[in-house]
Structure 1
Amino acid sequence: MTYTSLRLVFALALVLSSCSHAPVLHGPVQNYVGAEDRAEDWMSGDDYAFYVRRSQRSPSNKKVYKYKTTGTCGGFPRIDVKTAPGFCVGLVFDGGQGTFKKSRWAAPLAKNKVLIVDMGGWARNNGRIYVLDFGVKPAKLSVMLEPKQFPAGQAARGILDEPNQILKHTDGKFYVGGATGVYRFDPTASRPEKTVEVLIRDLPATGLHPLKSFTFDESNGFYVNVGSASNVCQNFTKYGDTNAQKNPRNWQRKQFANCPEVENMEIGQGQVRRYEVLADGRLSSNFTVFAKGLRNSIGLLWDPYRKVILQTENGRDAIGKFAPNLVTADLPHEEINVLQAGRHYGWPYCYDNNQTSPEWTNVDCAQFTKPQAFLPPHSAPLGAILHSGNNWPAWYKGRLLVALHGYEKKGHRIVAMKRDDQGLPTGIPQSLVYGWDQKGEQGVGKPTSMLELEDGSVLIVEDDDQNKILKLVYDPTQGDGQPVQEVDQAVAATDDEMESEEVLKKRLDDKLRGGNPPVFLQFQVKVIDKYCAECHQAAGSPGVRLIKYDDDGNALRIKQSGKAKELLEIIKGNPDFIPMPPQGWDTPAEQAEAVKLLEAWISGK
């Protein structure tokens, strides 16, 4: 049986057993398609083709990169990356070939010992769980759970079906999220494989995002991610795949009122489910859809300080495919959300601050919950932790740290978030580890998760062709530890951070009174304020965000975007670009002056 047909069997099993579920929470969008829909129908042709390729993929034979090391960090070789002052990153274990295929997560076992989840690539039932002892040199890796310990057909075997996250709970057991279920086991037993229990089975895992992450709250709640099957539920829009075999529901490209993938409350995806933790530590068979409209929630964690669930959102791709005015590399931003019961967070209908997706212009995004904060576009936030502040500067206590996995240049980082008055993440991400770029034989950083150790240092798990285990260490004699604001300031600026228009205008007027205004200030007044700001001022607006009266901020955003020359070509009327301003210039003389001013600013004259 193929990978795809197996996923279909699981989806059909959920349909047949739907009567066992508790009443579910309904969000603002109603009249969703019923549970008879196949999960495969939710994918576009492009999504489906990628899914099939991925499911048939054999273990990678790509070149394995080595980190360049100089000196030591916390007793380990120090790797060549940039960090906040006082921090360094040590190479604890170099997976390479013959060990991990796709290491994803770590959990504490004993002093200087952790359990490591190896997803095993995208092959079915090919994962492993290892013990890593880094108290010895070199670090020693040994297998705890592997496929040969579980006969084919045994339910417990699912613990090794694309496992992603592992977490030690208060009952002393270790919980693991497989693609279609959640499991727990006791690693201290003489035969840990005999202790594996199936806690949740038959979770939807069709399509692009089968991996599971989860968290516990303090009130017997267990929350698990059910990632979306598709990129943007395209097959239920006017842009749907016209292949009737791959898309039997909408091969004629009808625009549906909503996306059944996320609105289906029985086998839906793009959701976070809540299960009840029972007295014996098992999980209830019934669930509620706690929150939805979430494309893929690999980062899920309970915040004990604010008593909320935080989520990192992996946003959609290819936004410019059907809207050439939207630049795919720049949009959308990834998100941090505060999850609340019954809320809908907008996927696939919206992106950024409830901007409407080009495929779903028929849906009013005002009804959905906006993100709490933004992360760089396509930076793929995965694991996140709240640091205790132990042996780190006090600023880090309760601070959210996020692993940015890639793939664009603003990915491959460890970032820390500022906090608002309620202590929730806000503002522009601050970098703890960055400069993690391709350097000759050294591959780009691919952090998937983090684990704080007893001494406050943080283990970082990498996957893909890296499969390295790293350690982030702070030494107060080497710096104050303050993270670096090096990410493009235009990336994550939110409306709450912007100065009021009144303040900006007063500052601009004061500059104009001085006479002989700088070139960009003239460009601000004559071009941006008159022609650009109305459409480009909102967070998440297409292209570079341009704020009315904010000449200093706009100059910085244009420089950091690297699009100054592209903007010049647009203003010149180059037919290779979308015409701007869309309504045209009032006079040819104004256009000519705009070109002259921008050329002068770019050249530094």
Structure 2
Amino acid sequence: MKRSHVLFGLTAAFGLLLGGASAQAQARAYAASGDCGGRPATTVRMAPGLCLGLVWQGAGPEGPRMPRGLMPLADGDWLVTDLGGWEAGKGAVWRLSFENGAPRWRRLAGGLSMPHTVARGPDGRVFVSEMNRILTLDPEAADPAASVRTVIGDLPDNQLHDNRHPLSSFVFDGNGDLLVNVGAPSDRCLDAAGKPKVDARGACVEDVATAQVRRHAYLGNGRWAEDSSVFASGLRNSIALVRHASGTVLQAENSVDLATAEHPFDEVNVLRQGGHYGWPYCVDLSTPLPGWPARQARCGERDQPVALLPPHAAPLDMIYYEGAMFPELRGRLLMTWHGYRRTAGRITAVETDGRGAPLTDVGGRYAVYPRGSLAYPAEAPSVKGKVLTPGWDRVAGRQPRGSPVVMAVAADGSIWVTDDRSRAILRIARP
């Protein structure tokens, strides 16, 4: 997570705590304009044939403060993780149900530390990532909070000492192993004087135990190893992870926070066992980061991204769409851009090959930038696809700028998405 995102999140959470009538809450309200597949249509301009409906937007004490993770249940209800705020112990897991179409909330577990991912495991149980552990809980239990069990504990706890990358996320590999994100504890592994923090080998001292995706082996009988091995490293923040049915594992990288709005580019990486993807030494394809001399960065030896994304897009989720509502999107990789600059509020549908890797255009351009306004690296690949939410920008009195986090596909094929800054849950459907 980028520092600016954290600070914005703190501001948004504080504004919401002041109450639904506050100026900040009003600035984040969605206006309704017509119908979107049975939900009030927002005014967000969508790709042809799509609309963005409002399922719920919080303004009072009920429901999540900062909705993040999202998972459908068989009975039509939903599980939603609530970050709660950028401090330990404020998070929760909620169950969303509907009574005559009206949203109803039940808090299943509270006192959690920045929960994010919620997913069903290969054994059918529900798993949730907290900042420093992976847990399981039973949403059907009479007392779901009492059903909480730690699956993997003692994950690195960043404690937000530098406002950097505290969140965990995970995916299950084909053999049941858990692949878990461990974010970098700083932006570029530099000291207060702007010099690299290195060990005896001249490598970043933080690169040994963090900035990784770790593998926790499945032991059988619903147990995973507490100890882990490094699956891939050099990854600043791997909140967006997805595994294709073919076995391909993709990661979308939130790159470093340089002062310029047009650099560096975020990334999509195809992860391989033992790969190193550049942090904190390199960005783009092979550009050494300020503070790291080329001889130390050795960018030519790092794994290059399969595609570059717009600067500061801040991708937070990726899913493969296989629903019935949008046949034209089947097999595509859907990606949220949570950012805070001009790329914010975008959900993209990326074409993929048979392994689930993004198809690319060499030297491509992104439509959110006017022609010639972005110095795209020569011969660099951009993803090939389309933007589903081209008009999710702020419009005074009508809509906030979108901050999409996590997506999930409902039984009918509609695409649900959380917006944590606006405290909203939305639904992409047919008009």
User: Counterparts in 2 of 1:345-424, with a 5 A limit?
Assistant: 345-361=277-293, 362-393=296-327, 395-420=328-353, 423-424=356-357
Q: 1:54 to 1:179 in 2, by over 3 A?
A: farther
Question: Which residue of structure 2 aligns with residue 425 of structure 1?
Answer: 358
CA displacement 1:435-480 (0-9 Å, x = unmatched) = 111111332111100001111111111102x0100011136xxxxx
Q: Residue 297 of structure 1 is aligned with which of 238, 243, 251?
A: 238
Indicate yes or no: 2:416 matched with 1:459: yes
Cα shift readout 1:35-88 (whole Å, capped 9, x = no counterpart): xxxxxxxxxxx97x999x899989412511211211111111000112121111
C-alpha distance in structure 1 between counterparts of 2:429 and 2:396, whole Å: 25
Aligned pair partner of 1:275 in 185, 204, 216: 216
- The match for 1:316 is 256
- Cα distance between partner residues in 2 of 1:56 and 1:404: 19
Match of 1:233 among 157, 165, 189: 189
CA contact (8 A) 1:112 1:135 kept: no
The one-letter code matched in structure 1 to 2:388 is L
CA–CA distance in structure 1, aligned partners of residues 36 and 11 of structure 2: 37
- 3-state SS of the aligned residue for 2:359? strand
- CA separation of 1:312 and 1:50: change in aligned 2, threshold 3 A: closer
Task: Name the CA shift for 1:337/1:117 in 2 (closer, same or farther; >3 Å).
Answer: same
1:435 aligns with 2:391: yes
C-alpha distance in structure 1 between counterparts of 2:81 and 2:59, whole Å: 15
Q: Secondary structure at the match of 1:60?
A: helix
Letter in 2 for 1:186: D
Q: Structure 2: 5+ residue runs without aligned partners?
A: 17-23, 361-382
**CA–CA separation in structure 2 for the residues paired with 1:347 and 1:185:** 34
Preserved contact between residue 382 and residue 405 of structure 1 (Cα < 8 Å)? yes
> For the structure 1 residues 58 and 409, does the alpha-carbon distance in structure 2 shift closer, same or farther, using more than 3 Å as the test?
closer
What's the counterpart of residue 341 of structure 1? 273
Corresponding residue number in structure 1 for 2:138: 186
The aligned amino acid for 1:300 is L
The percent of aligned pairs where both chains have the same amino acid is: 35
CA-CA distance at 1:134 after TM superposition: 3.7
2:66 counterpart letter in structure 1: K
Partner of 1:122: 86
Q: Could you tell me which amino acid in structure 1 is paired with residue 237 of structure 2? A: N
* Equivalent AA in structure 1 for residue 344 of structure 2: G
Q: 1:245 maps to which residue?
A: none
* 1:135 CA displacement: 6.1
- Asked if the contact 1:54/1:122 (under 8 Å) is kept, the reply is no
Distance, in Å, in 2 between the alignment partners of 1:195 and 1:423 is 36
2:404 is matched with which residue? Answer: 447
Superposed CA deviations along residues 227-279 of structure 1, whole A, max 9, x for unmatched, are 1111111129x7239xxxxxxx78xxx998221111x1xxx111000001221
Q: State the AA in 1 paired with 2:276.
A: H
Aligned partner of 1:92 among 55, 66, 81 = 55
Q: Is contact 1:93–1:139 with CA below 8 Å preserved after alignment?
A: yes
1:83 and 1:432 in contact (8 A); partners too:
yes
Q: CA deviation at 1:426?
A: 2.9
The Cα offsets for residues 508-548 of structure 1, whole Å up to 9 and x where unpaired, read as xxxxxxxxxxxxxxxxxxxxxxxxxxxxxxxxxxxxxxxxx
CA gap 1:310/1:115 in 2 versus in 1, 3 angstroms = same
Match of 1:145 in 2: 109
Distance 1:184 1:50 in 2: 28
Could you tell me whether the CA contact under 8 Å between 1:212 and 1:226 is conserved in 2? yes
What do you get for the CA RMSD once the two structures are aligned? 2.6
Match for residue 176 of structure 2?
220
Report the secondary structure of 2:191's partner residue: helix
1:258 matched to 2:203:
yes
Partner of 1:331: 263
Shift, 1:103, TM fit:
0.8
Counterparts of 1:282 and 1:193, CA distance in 2:
20
Question: CA separation in 2, counterparts of 1:406 and 1:223?
Answer: 25
**Partner secondary structure for residue 193 of structure 1:** helix
How far 1:205 moved relative to its partner? 2.6
CA contact (8 A) 1:298 1:382 kept: yes
SS at 1:434 equivalent: coil
> 1:210 touches 1:227 (CA, 8 Å); kept in 2?
yes
Asked if 1 retains the 8 angstrom alpha-carbon contact of 2:234 and 2:277, the reply is yes
SS of the aligned residue for 2:33 comes to strand
Per-residue CA shift, 1:165-205, capped at 9, x if unaligned?
A: 11111322111100011101111111111211111111113
SS in structure 2 of the partner of residue 261 of structure 1? helix
CA distance in 2, matches of 1:391, 1:57: 37
Q: How far apart are the structure 1 equivalents of 2:297 and 2:70? A: 40
The answer to whether the 8 A contact 2:51-2:429 is kept is yes
Aligned CA distance change for structure 1 residues 239 and 255 (closer, same or farther; 3 Å): farther
Distance 1:56 1:335 in 2: 26
**Structure 1 residue 286, shift from structure 2 partner:** 1.8
Displacement after TM superposition at 1:90 (Å)? 0.6
Gaps of at least 5 residues in structure 1 are 1-45, 148-159, 242-248, 321-327, 476-605
Give the whole-Å Cα distance in 2 for the aligned partners of 1:359 and 1:256: 17
Q: Deviations over 1:85-123 (max 9, x none)?
A: 111111001123423221101112233210110011112
- What secondary structure sits across from 1:70 in the alignment? coil
Is this contact kept in 2: 1:413–1:434, CA < 8 A?
yes
| Offset at residue 313 of structure 1 (A) | 0.8
The count of corresponding residues between Structure 1 and Structure 2 is: 390
Of 134, 146, 150, the match for 1:198:
150
Q: Which amino acid aligns with 1:387?
A: Y
Q: Indicate how the Cα distance of structure 1 residues 430 and 461 shifts in structure 2: closer, same or farther if over 3 A, else same.
A: same
TM superposition score normalised by structure 1: 0.61
CA distance in 1, matches of 2:311, 2:5: 21
| Partner residue in 2 for 1:288 | 229
How far residue 401 of structure 1 moved from its aligned partner, in angstroms, is: 0.2
Q: Deviations over 1:365-397 (max 9, x none)?
A: 01111101122110110011100042312x422
Report the residue type matching 1:240 in the other structure: K
Q: Is the 8 A contact 1:58 1:123 kept in 2?
A: no
**2-structure distance, mates of 1:424, 1:202:** 32
Q: Secondary structure at the match of 1:359?
A: coil
Q: Is the 8 A contact 2:122 2:176 kept in 1?
A: no
Matched residue, 2:430: 474
- TM-score, normalisation: structure 2: 0.85
- The 3-state SS of whatever aligns with 1:278 is strand
AA aligned opposite 1:473: A
Change (3 A) 1:136 1:273: farther
Code of the aligned partner of 2:274: G
Return the alpha-carbon distance in structure 1 between the equivalents of residues 179 and 255 of structure 2: 20
Looking at structure 2, the residues matched to 330 and 96 of structure 1 have their Cα atoms a distance apart, in angstroms, of 35
Work out which of the two has the higher radius of gyration on C-alpha atoms and give 1 or 2: 1
Specify the code of the residue in structure 1 equivalent to 2:125. Answer: K
